[in-house]
Structure 1
Amino acid sequence: MPQMPRAKAHASAILREYHEAETELIGKAVVLTDGTAGTVEELYLDEAHGLRLSIAGHPGKWPVATIKLAQK
């Protein structure tokens, strides 16, 4: 049974980082490497691709790693 607490600790760490990313990005202006720009509306945790974001006025979801510039 020692694996359960470790798994719970990993899950808690993932959620903590996800919420930190939400705080840092939601409502902020960003420019992506492909030139897409706008305000981050929502973040998604995608099993296959990791953290993705949606931008107001643009259909689709992009990997967070494609952020070139972000409002501070």
Structure 2
Amino acid sequence: MTPSSTGQEVALAILRQFEEARSELLGQAVILSDGKAGTICKVFLDELHGLRVSIEGHEGQWPISTIKLSGDGDRR
């Protein structure tokens, strides 16, 4: 973004990136760092913690940094 970008342009760019991440993550099989496993059913944007996910069959939300996509090598 350039210094002349408006707040609205920045907000729209963030929302586009969030939607892209959401569409890529929903339905993905994951393993959490605490050993829980399941499928991502919701993706959230938390102003304090960043991108968070909910896993089907487990209560709570986890930061994206605590998951490993199943069958995706070392990617987080």
Under TM normalisation by the shorter chain, which class is it? 0.7 to 0.9
RMSD over aligned CA atoms reads 1.9
| Higher RCO, Cα 8 Å, sep 6+ | 1
Structure-1 residue corresponding to 2:21: 21
Q: Is the 8 A contact 1:28 1:71 kept in 2?
A: no
Residues 52-71 of structure 1 mapped to structure 2, 5 A cutoff: 52-70=52-70
TM-score, normalization by structure 2: 0.80
Relative to its length, the structure with more strand (as a share) is 1
User: Aligned to 2:14, what secondary structure does the other structure show?
Assistant: helix
Q: Percent identity among equivalent residues? A: 51
Runs of 4 or more above 4 Å deviation: none
TM normalised by structure 1 equals 0.83
Give unpaired runs (5+ residues) of structure 1: none
Which deviations, in whole Å up to 9, do the C-alpha atoms of 1:12-56 show, x marking residues without a partner? 111011101111110111112221110000011111111100000
Give 1 or 2: higher helix fraction: 1
Gaps of 5+ in 2: none
